[in-house]
Amino acid sequence: MIGVFDSGHGGLTVLHALTQRMPAASFTYFGDHGNAPYGPRPEGEIYTLTLAAVERLFAEGCSLVLIACNTASAVALRRLQQDWLPDAAPERRVLGVFVPMVEALSAVSWRDGAPGPKRVPEDGMVAVFATQRTIHSGAYPFEVGLRAPRMRVVSQACPNLVAAIEADEPEDVLHDLVTGYVAAMLKQTEGRVPEAAVLGCTHYPLVAHLFAAVLPSSVQLLDQPTIVADSLADYLTRHPRFAVESGQTGARRFLTSGDPARVAAFASRFFGSEVTFQAVGELNLL
């Protein structure tokens, strides 16, 4: 099994793309709905919860875990990979949705510095729309800056958007929120239009059509789930051991730290079809 972790529902948009890209692969999804949302939490709590979730998926038999949460990836991934994994689980791997997006923006491979396809000019501008915690982490401008120092990253927090999506607010309410975030971003750029935009939260694909409608037509809207799915498929090609260990039965399991009935009622909006969740108990912050 390949483990896929998110603080709630959002990672199901990534899981959907993964199953479309690799239909034979087997996946276990774990949503920490009992502690969601992660965005307003302090970084220390986000790291502790993310570590506990990875350990939970390892215990479920996953040798490879994808953190399908931008906030958790931005805050916790590097620390997990560098400080915890080498001693705690050296034969296992933890990946995140953050790295593929940085590679896509900078056109520089994380693993070896090899060039990739250019989506944004070297001296271009990209807008990142994300949760407040992801924006405050500074992860996107920092990591893109290491690989494409001439590129400008404009960071725009989108407070209340995740909550509005989760609450299934009417389209006009969501449209007004997105319009405000885009206007705030363009105010930062003093009217300059970025070449590309990243929806840096796995909830946001559900309102991608609104961003596309409000942003200037010349802005390329990068689809994070598709980019992540392509990246993971490439990783499994380069590391076939994890593909073999994950199994090729097309099995899907859905776990939650919340109320499985309540979680399942909303999950189909994110995954694209009905799913059944199994309760596994809350993660402990202590």
Query: Could you tell me which residues are annotated as the binding site for substrate?
Result: 6-7, 38-39, 70-71, 202-203
Residues annotated in a binding site? 6-7, 38-39, 70-71, 202-203
Which among 57, 69, 74, 267 is annotated as catalytic?
Answer: 69
Q: Is 158 a catalytic residue?
A: no
Q: What is the rounded CA–CA span in Å between residue 20 and residue 278?
A: 23
Cα dihedral 240, 245, 248, 253 sign: negative
CA–CA distances in Å: residue 234 to residues 43, 94, 114, 166 = 30, 15, 14, 32
Contacts 24+ apart (CB under 8 A), 74-83: 74/98, 74/133, 74/134, 74/137, 74/139, 74/140, 75/43, 75/46, 75/47, 75/50, 75/133, 75/134, 75/137, 75/139, 76/46, 76/47, 76/50, 76/51, 79/47, 80/47, 80/50, 80/51, 80/54
SS (H, E, C) 73-139: HHHHHHHHHHHHHHHHCCCCEEEECHHHHHHHHHCECCCCCCECCCCCCCCCEEEEEECHHHHHHCH
Q: Is 201 a catalytic residue?
A: yes
Contacts of 256 (CB under 8 A, 6+ apart): 30, 31, 32, 33, 34, 263, 277, 278, 279, 280
Which among 15, 75, 161, 201 is annotated as catalytic?
Answer: 201
Catalytic residues: 69, 201
